[in-house]
Amino acid sequence: MKALLFSCSIFALLLGSSCSIKLEQISLPADLMALQGVVDGAKGPQAWLGLEVELLHPEGLADLDDLDDLDSLDLQPGVRIRKVARDSPAADAGLKVGDVLLQYGGHDVDDPERLSALLAAISLPTTTKLQYQRGTEVRESTADVKMRVSTGPGRVLYQVERAYLRAAFSDSASGGHAQIERLWPNSPLRLAGAQEGDLLISFDGKRVGSAAGFVRNCAFSLKPGQVFELEVEHAAGNRQLLEVHAWDPGRVLTEFTIWPIIRWEHKRAEGRKEFAIGDLFFFSVFNKTTVGAEVEYSILGFFSWRTGEAVLESEFSFSESADA
């Protein structure tokens, strides 16, 4: 394709004609960008703190979906407590709605999924330290985490990122890091040297949170073909800084013109293609326009006909016909 376009461009220059070529980035389907998790349906005892938390949103921002770029977001540490269950370990520890939970057991808590991962790593009742902020004060308290059978949908085993990295991520057994659960054969991470089981340490110089938080950050901050740095820790304990190229679906030719000899245009959003020979200012010697299954031909702008699907151009009114 590139060789053909280059040859046509040289041909146009030799003829003294103007040549224009337009390429358009292929957009990723919206469903590829959605956060998708694989859930373990098995029920069993799970650590219970009695908290419901949410991300800290910048003032005036209703939801993270309103963000265009994570670089414009001044991320604050911690998660806001939106609900405290009565007679729960969190309530006994003195936590209240509106407090900001900063740390759990010495681990920073920067998104709700990180807290869930830390709790999922517990198999027996335990006592842990909680650090939280109330107003301008940072406080510390002790909570006795209990075990109980969950009535929820189950524990998320791993999060899938299909758009840019083509990989699945889970939270490590300790809950302290996100890790690579699975790499597809064509995953950019695999090509960069990452391996299944690697821990994610930093993403473009910023600490990686939970698996869900990492996948969410990728959706906000990455673009097709973008190059970024990812620091990983291999199973042997050695760390490596990888240069990763996000998956790029490529570009597609949408316009090619050698004026006034030939013109071809594809409006992908409208599903419309147009091909013209002898493209003059007010008409073309020959013009072919395709919209879906319908094709319209035109010669010199005077003779035209259509083939393909029939199109209803006027609406017949029964009442008007009856009155006549």
Whether residue 209 has pLDDT greater than 90: no
Check whether residue 97 and residue 53 sit in a common domain: yes
Same domain, 67 and 80: yes
Tokens 């650590």: give the residue. Answer: 47
| Inside any domain, residue 129 | yes
* Residue 315 maps to a domain: no
CA angle 250, 251, 252 (to 5 degrees): 130
Q: Which of 113, 133, 149 is the last residue of a domain?
A: 149
Q: Compute the distance between CA of residue 78 and CA of residue 108 in angstroms, rounded to an integer.
A: 7
Amino acid at 221: S
Whole-angstrom distance, CA of residue 50 vs CA of residue 94: 12
Cα torsion angle, 199, 202, 207, 208, sign: negative
Same domain, 160 and 189: yes
Query: What pTM, to 2 d.p., does this model score?
Result: 0.56
Is there a domain that residue 183 lies in?
yes
Q: What is the domain-level CATH number for residue 142? A: 2.30.42.10
**Residue 270 domain flag:** yes
Asked if residue 222 belongs to a domain, the reply is: yes
| Amino acid 25: pLDDT | 66
Same domain, 72 and 117: yes
- Is pLDDT above 80 for 322? no
CA dist 120 and 113 (Å) reads 10
CB 97 within 8 A of CB 81: yes
Asked whether residue 70 falls in the same domain as residue 122, the answer is yes
pLDDT at 58 over 50: no
Same domain, 143 and 49: yes
**Residue 318 domain flag:** no
Q: Which pair of tokens denotes residue 218?
A: 């990728």
Rounded Cα gap, residues 131 and 133, in angstroms? 7
Q: Indicate if 241 and 260 belong to the same structural domain.
A: no
Same-domain check for residues 66 and 13: no
pLDDT tens per residue, range 17-45: 677 888 776 665 555 545 455 445 445 67
- Output the pLDDT for position 318: 46
Residues 227 and 182 in one domain: yes
One-letter amino acid of 298: S
Six-digit token string for 229: 């740095």
Give the structural domain span for 52: 43-149
DSSP, collapsed to helix, strand or coil, labels residue 67 as coil
Cα–Cα distance, 219 to 155 (Å, whole number): 23
Residue 303 lies in a domain: yes
Band (pLDDT 50/70/90 cuts) for residue 63 is very low
- Asked if 49 and 99 sit in the same domain, the reply is yes
9 has a pLDDT exceeding 70: no
Strand partners, 277: 262, 286
Cα 148 from Cα 46, distance rounded (Å): 5
How confident is the model at residue 45, as a pLDDT?
Answer: 79
pLDDT band for position 203 (cuts 50, 70, 90): very high
The residues, ordered by sequence, that sit 6+ positions from 275 with a Cβ below 8 Å of its Cβ are: 262, 263, 264, 287, 288, 289
Least confident of 28-37, 87-96, 201-210: 28-37
Residue 186 has pLDDT above 80, yes or no: yes
How many folded domains does the chain comprise?
Answer: 3
Q: 225 and 169 in one domain?
A: yes
- Which of 102, 127, 149 delimits the end of a domain? 149
Q: Is residue 321 part of a domain?
A: no
For residues 59, 110, 199 and 126, what is the CA-based torsion angle, rounded to 10 degrees?
-170
142 and 54 part of one domain = yes
| Tokens at 196, concatenated | 């299944």
Residue found under tokens 């030719």: 253
Q: Is the model's pLDDT at 319 over the cut of 80?
A: no
Are 180 and 172 spatial neighbours (Cβ–Cβ below 8 Å)?
no
Helices (H) and strands (E) in the chain, counts: 7, 22
